[in-house]
Amino acid sequence: ELAAIAEGIHSYGAAVGFKGWSAIGARPRAYADLVEAAAGRYGLDPNLLFAVMRVESVYQEHIVSYAGAIVLAQIMPRTGTLIAHELGREDFQTSDLLDPETNLEFAAWYLRSLIDRWDGHVALAIASYNGGPHNVRRWLRDYGGDLTLDAFLEHIPFEQTHRYVRRVLGHYRAYRAQVGLSMIALDDSLPGPSVDPIDRKSVV
Protein backbone atom coordinates (compact mmCIF):
# COMPACT_ATOMS: atom_id res chain seq x y z
CA GLU A 1 0.00 0.00 0.00
CA LEU A 2 1.39 3.38 -1.01
CA ALA A 3 0.39 5.04 2.26
CA ALA A 4 2.35 2.44 4.25
CA ILE A 5 5.41 2.93 2.04
CA ALA A 6 5.21 6.70 2.51
CA GLU A 7 4.92 6.27 6.27
CA GLY A 8 7.88 3.90 6.22
CA ILE A 9 10.10 6.56 4.69
CA HIS A 10 8.65 9.21 7.02
CA SER A 11 6.89 11.07 4.22
CA TYR A 12 3.86 11.87 6.35
CA GLY A 13 2.33 14.38 3.97
CA ALA A 14 2.35 11.84 1.15
CA ALA A 15 0.95 9.16 3.46
CA VAL A 16 -1.94 11.39 4.43
CA GLY A 17 -2.52 12.18 0.77
CA PHE A 18 -2.75 8.50 -0.15
CA LYS A 19 -5.11 7.76 2.74
CA GLY A 20 -7.37 10.72 1.97
CA TRP A 21 -9.28 13.16 4.14
CA SER A 22 -10.13 10.54 6.75
CA ALA A 23 -6.45 10.34 7.70
CA ILE A 24 -6.15 14.11 7.81
CA GLY A 25 -9.17 14.31 10.10
CA ALA A 26 -7.49 11.87 12.47
CA ARG A 27 -4.68 14.41 13.05
CA PRO A 28 -1.60 12.19 12.86
CA ARG A 29 1.29 13.23 15.06
CA ALA A 30 3.55 13.63 12.05
CA TYR A 31 7.28 14.07 12.63
CA ALA A 32 6.64 13.36 16.30
CA ASP A 33 10.32 12.94 17.23
CA LEU A 34 11.28 16.25 15.61
CA VAL A 35 8.27 18.09 17.02
CA GLU A 36 8.84 16.82 20.55
CA ALA A 37 12.56 17.64 20.43
CA ALA A 38 12.08 21.16 19.05
CA ALA A 39 9.23 21.96 21.43
CA GLY A 40 11.21 20.64 24.39
CA ARG A 41 14.22 22.72 23.43
CA TYR A 42 12.22 25.95 23.64
CA GLY A 43 9.70 25.14 26.35
CA LEU A 44 6.80 24.96 23.90
CA ASP A 45 3.77 22.69 24.10
CA PRO A 46 4.37 20.21 21.24
CA ASN A 47 0.63 20.04 20.65
CA LEU A 48 0.70 23.66 19.55
CA LEU A 49 3.46 22.93 17.06
CA PHE A 50 1.49 19.96 15.73
CA ALA A 51 -1.54 22.23 15.31
CA VAL A 52 0.42 24.93 13.48
CA MET A 53 1.97 22.35 11.14
CA ARG A 54 -1.48 20.86 10.49
CA VAL A 55 -2.92 24.20 9.42
CA GLU A 56 0.16 25.49 7.61
CA SER A 57 0.98 22.49 5.42
CA VAL A 58 -1.19 19.47 6.34
CA TYR A 59 2.16 17.74 7.00
CA GLN A 60 3.35 18.24 3.40
CA GLU A 61 7.14 18.38 3.49
CA HIS A 62 7.77 19.62 -0.06
CA ILE A 63 5.36 22.51 -0.56
CA VAL A 64 6.25 26.16 -0.99
CA SER A 65 3.39 28.68 -0.90
CA TYR A 66 2.69 31.25 -3.58
CA ALA A 67 4.19 33.83 -1.20
CA GLY A 68 7.38 31.78 -0.77
CA ALA A 69 6.64 30.24 2.66
CA ILE A 70 8.55 27.01 3.01
CA VAL A 71 7.33 23.47 3.80
CA LEU A 72 6.04 22.09 7.12
CA ALA A 73 5.66 25.24 9.20
CA GLN A 74 5.52 27.58 6.17
CA ILE A 75 8.37 29.85 7.25
CA MET A 76 9.14 32.84 5.05
CA PRO A 77 12.79 33.18 3.94
CA ARG A 78 13.24 36.54 5.66
CA THR A 79 11.77 35.17 8.87
CA GLY A 80 14.08 32.18 8.65
CA THR A 81 17.10 34.43 8.18
CA LEU A 82 16.22 36.50 11.24
CA ILE A 83 15.55 33.42 13.37
CA ALA A 84 18.86 31.93 12.24
CA HIS A 85 20.62 35.10 13.35
CA GLU A 86 18.96 34.89 16.78
CA LEU A 87 20.07 31.26 17.05
CA GLY A 88 23.63 32.04 16.00
CA ARG A 89 23.42 30.06 12.77
CA GLU A 90 25.51 32.36 10.63
CA ASP A 91 25.90 29.71 7.90
CA PHE A 92 22.15 29.63 7.33
CA GLN A 93 20.80 29.47 3.79
CA THR A 94 17.14 29.64 2.80
CA SER A 95 17.37 26.09 1.44
CA ASP A 96 17.99 24.91 5.03
CA LEU A 97 14.29 25.48 5.68
CA LEU A 98 13.54 22.52 3.40
CA ASP A 99 14.97 20.27 6.09
CA PRO A 100 12.12 19.17 8.40
CA GLU A 101 14.28 19.32 11.52
CA THR A 102 15.41 22.89 10.83
CA ASN A 103 11.96 23.99 9.74
CA LEU A 104 10.28 22.69 12.89
CA GLU A 105 13.03 23.99 15.17
CA PHE A 106 12.71 27.49 13.72
CA ALA A 107 8.92 27.31 14.06
CA ALA A 108 9.20 26.23 17.70
CA TRP A 109 11.65 29.04 18.49
CA TYR A 110 9.46 31.60 16.75
CA LEU A 111 6.24 30.48 18.45
CA ARG A 112 7.99 30.55 21.83
CA SER A 113 9.28 34.06 21.16
CA LEU A 114 5.82 35.26 20.12
CA ILE A 115 4.19 33.77 23.21
CA ASP A 116 6.78 35.54 25.35
CA ARG A 117 6.29 38.73 23.36
CA TRP A 118 2.58 38.70 24.18
CA ASP A 119 3.00 37.81 27.86
CA GLY A 120 1.73 34.27 27.42
CA HIS A 121 -1.24 35.09 25.19
CA VAL A 122 -1.20 32.06 22.90
CA ALA A 123 -3.98 33.34 20.63
CA LEU A 124 -2.07 36.55 19.94
CA ALA A 125 1.08 34.53 19.23
CA ILE A 126 -0.87 32.44 16.72
CA ALA A 127 -2.26 35.59 15.09
CA SER A 128 1.27 36.99 14.91
CA TYR A 129 2.62 33.83 13.32
CA ASN A 130 0.20 34.30 10.45
CA GLY A 131 -0.39 38.03 10.24
CA GLY A 132 2.88 39.40 11.63
CA PRO A 133 3.53 40.80 15.12
CA HIS A 134 3.61 44.35 13.78
CA ASN A 135 0.04 43.95 12.48
CA VAL A 136 -1.17 42.45 15.76
CA ARG A 137 0.35 45.40 17.59
CA ARG A 138 -1.47 47.77 15.25
CA TRP A 139 -4.76 45.91 15.68
CA LEU A 140 -4.40 46.08 19.45
CA ARG A 141 -3.87 49.82 19.17
CA ASP A 142 -6.81 50.29 16.80
CA TYR A 143 -9.30 47.74 18.14
CA GLY A 144 -8.04 46.60 21.55
CA GLY A 145 -9.29 49.09 24.09
CA ASP A 146 -11.67 47.39 26.49
CA LEU A 147 -12.38 44.41 24.22
CA THR A 148 -12.08 40.87 25.49
CA LEU A 149 -9.78 38.48 23.64
CA ASP A 150 -12.67 36.79 21.86
CA ALA A 151 -14.10 40.12 20.71
CA PHE A 152 -10.67 41.28 19.57
CA LEU A 153 -10.18 38.13 17.48
CA GLU A 154 -13.50 38.85 15.76
CA HIS A 155 -12.20 42.32 14.84
CA ILE A 156 -9.04 41.07 13.08
CA PRO A 157 -9.34 42.69 9.63
CA PHE A 158 -7.29 40.05 7.78
CA GLU A 159 -9.80 37.32 6.93
CA GLN A 160 -7.03 34.77 6.50
CA THR A 161 -5.60 35.52 9.95
CA HIS A 162 -9.06 35.56 11.50
CA ARG A 163 -9.72 32.04 10.20
CA TYR A 164 -6.18 30.90 10.95
CA VAL A 165 -6.37 31.62 14.66
CA ARG A 166 -9.64 29.75 15.04
CA ARG A 167 -8.37 26.77 13.05
CA VAL A 168 -5.08 26.48 14.95
CA LEU A 169 -6.85 26.75 18.30
CA GLY A 170 -9.30 24.06 17.24
CA HIS A 171 -6.53 21.67 16.22
CA TYR A 172 -4.56 22.58 19.34
CA ARG A 173 -7.50 21.56 21.49
CA ALA A 174 -7.83 18.28 19.55
CA TYR A 175 -4.13 17.44 19.75
CA ARG A 176 -4.13 18.01 23.50
CA ALA A 177 -7.21 15.79 23.82
CA GLN A 178 -5.32 13.02 22.00
CA VAL A 179 -2.94 12.78 24.95
CA GLY A 180 -5.58 13.26 27.65
CA LEU A 181 -5.05 16.97 28.24
CA SER A 182 -7.74 19.60 28.49
CA MET A 183 -7.40 22.81 26.53
CA ILE A 184 -5.30 25.53 28.10
CA ALA A 185 -7.11 28.50 29.60
CA LEU A 186 -6.92 31.53 27.32
CA ASP A 187 -6.51 34.83 29.15
CA ASP A 188 -9.49 36.98 28.14
CA SER A 189 -7.70 40.26 28.84
CA LEU A 190 -5.45 41.94 26.30
CA PRO A 191 -1.92 43.29 26.73
CA GLY A 192 -0.88 46.70 25.50
CA PRO A 193 0.58 47.18 22.00
CA SER A 194 4.22 47.54 23.10
CA VAL A 195 7.18 46.87 20.82
CA ASP A 196 9.84 44.22 21.33
CA PRO A 197 13.09 43.38 19.49
CA ILE A 198 11.45 40.82 17.21
CA ASP A 199 8.81 43.31 16.15
CA ARG A 200 11.43 45.94 15.37
CA LYS A 201 13.04 43.50 12.95
CA SER A 202 9.70 43.06 11.18
CA VAL A 203 9.65 39.28 11.36
CA VAL A 204 6.52 38.18 9.51
Selected catalytic residue, list 1, 7, 36, 56: 56
Ramachandran area for residue 100 (φ above 0: left; ψ -120 to 50: alpha; else beta): alpha
Q: Give how far the C-alpha of residue 179 lies from the chain's centroid of Cα atoms, to the nearest Å.
A: 19
Specify whether 56 is catalytic: yes
Alpha helices, H only, 87-201: 100-117, 122-131, 133-139, 149-154, 159-178, 197-200
**C-alpha distances in Å from residue 18, one per residue of 15, 29, 39, 51, 176:** 5, 16, 28, 21, 26
The torsion defined by the Cα of 12, 13, 17 and 20, in degrees rounded to 10, comes to 70
**Number of helical H runs and strand E runs in the chain:** 12, 0
Q: How many Cβ atoms sit within 10 Å of the Cβ of residue 87?
A: 13
Residues involved in catalysis? 56
